[in-house]
Amino acid sequence: MILLVDLCYRDGSLGFEEFVLPIARIIEGTGAGCRIVHYTRCPGQATRDCDGIILCGTPVMDNGFLGDLASFSWIPETSLPVLGICAGMEVLALLAGGRVISCPEIGMTEIRVTAQDPIFPENRAFEAYELHGYACTLPPGYHTLAGSDRCIQVFRDPVRPVYGVMFHPEVRNEWVVGRFLSAFCR
């Protein structure tokens, strides 16, 4: 069971259809189940019986979660693998001492893998879809795994399987979610 955390401005918003449900379909396509919880509804308590956590992205101007980091205070304490997608990467960066900086980007971007990892095993480039108003600085001690001309695209906690990706893998790069699940959540 994978816990999907909806970061959109309100539970049941239109962004849910675009940013949460596609990730749920990817998870279900791997044979795993998922539980979806809005970030304001105590998702830390919903981790029972879960094998991993995915913090979903949001529409480009939907950033209310940035003013409510207390709702994510449970994440540094969890022993579960975590994948933060776009807005989710921003949350992970802030919780770990990084910063969120202005960096608007919409459309396809070349991502260059710079460090091998279970999710990104080859140093190669691939195209990915970007839709964000912000990017992240690297939290202290974290490792950059991939980047683009504009920003860090993938980082990882140095000890735990906690990943942030700035691009949207639900658009043309579903393999990222699949590799995260197979490497850490089974």
* 18: DSSP letter: I
Cα-atom radius of gyration of the chain, to the nearest Å? Answer: 15
11, two tokens: 């539970």
- Edge-to-edge, what's the strand order for the sheet holding 100-113? 34-38, 2-6, 52-55, 82-85, 162-165, 152-156, 143-147, 100-113, 125-136
Q: Is 56 a catalytic residue?
A: no
Q: Is 170 a catalytic residue?
A: yes
CB count within 10 Å of CB 179 equals 17
Q: Which amino acid is at 54?
A: I
Of the residues 86, 136, 151, 185, only one is catalytic, namely 86
136, two tokens: 């992240």
Q: Is 38 a catalytic residue?
A: no
Contact 85, 165 (CB under 8 A): yes
Which residue in 7, 23, 4 sits closest to 15, CA to CA? Answer: 7
Of the residues 18, 90, 130, 170, only one is catalytic, namely 170
Which residue in 15, 52, 14 sits closest to 33, CA to CA? Answer: 52
Of the residues 38, 50, 168, 185, only one is catalytic, namely 168
Q: Which residues are catalytic?
A: 86, 168, 170
